[in-house]
Chains A and B, each alone.
Chain A
Amino acid sequence: DIVLTQSPGTLSLSPGERATLSCRASQSVRGSHLAWYQQKPGQAPRLLMYGASSRASGIPDRFSGSGSGTDFTLTISRLEPEDFAVYYCQQYGNSVYTFGQGTKLEIK
């Protein structure tokens, strides 16, 4: 199975700052089939990005994704108060889909 390692585990930033979240795969993700989800306390996850760089419907353009192969990045250009949450990457290119362990984005 592909192991996804997200870094950092926790990211402390202030509103208005830029956030860069990393997701590294133990082997190449076929077709760049990588998604990002946001989860707030007590809520279900919400799809942000798919195909590494395509924004899901209704997602603000301050969210962007990039990467291929084994290295992927989610960038939030200017943090809004509602962006503080846990973010998960997921690869769905190999037969056994896997999630990263999550990055918690907290207010500094």
Chain B
Amino acid sequence: EVQLVQSGAEVKKPGESLKISCKGSGYSFSSYWIGWVRQMPGKGLEWMGIIYPGDSDATYSPSFQGQVTISADKSITTAYLQWNSLKASDTAMYYCARQVGGGSAWFSDYWGQGTLLTVSS
């Protein structure tokens, strides 16, 4: 059974750093892209970027380029989303999702349960 299990909810202060995780199981983790999606409170879905754990090749949405870092460690089948300096506007639910498809056209078939991030002074 394919599963993506995300790390737990976080409460952080502005300016702090953070790395949240997404552990995959039940499939060949290195062979599937993993995507990250943001959902701000009461709002819609925003695509942040994707990574190929096999070689850590990552692509970012221009809206998130330079704001976050997406990484992966295939040895422990885990992908990460990282901030160096959090802002209150980073408060949101963050989802990871396995990507399927082909030819640089990837959609999300399995999703993690989400990690709720609250940034407040």
Contacts and interface: CB of A to CB of B under 8 A. Distances in A.
Nearest to A88: B45
A1 B108 contact: no
Residues of B contacting A: mostly: strand
B95 A44 contact: yes
Interface stretch (A18-26, A68-76, A93-101): A93-101
Interface residues of A, number: 26
A97 B106 CA distance: 9
A102 interface: yes
B45 A47 contact: no
Contacts of A44: 95, 97, 111-114
A88 to B, nearest CB: 6
Interface of A: 1, 30-31, 33, 35, 37, 39, 44-47, 50, 56-57, 88, 90, 92-93, 95-102
By Cβ-Cβ distance, the 6 closest A-B pairs, closest first, are A44-B111, A97-B47, A35-B107, A99-B45, A33-B105, A102-B44
B1 interface: no
A47 B109 contact: yes
Contacts of A31: 103, 105
Contacts of B106: 92, 97
Contacts, number: 61
B121 to A, nearest CB: 27
B105 A1 contact: no
B45 A92 contact: no
Nearest to A99: B45
22 contacts: A31-B103, A31-B105, A33-B101, A35-B108, A37-B45, A37-B108, A39-B45, A45-B95, A45-B97, A50-B101, A57-B109, A90-B47, A95-B104, A96-B47, A96-B61, A97-B35, A99-B44, A99-B46, A100-B44, A101-B44, A102-B44, A102-B45
Interface string B46-64: 1100000000000101100
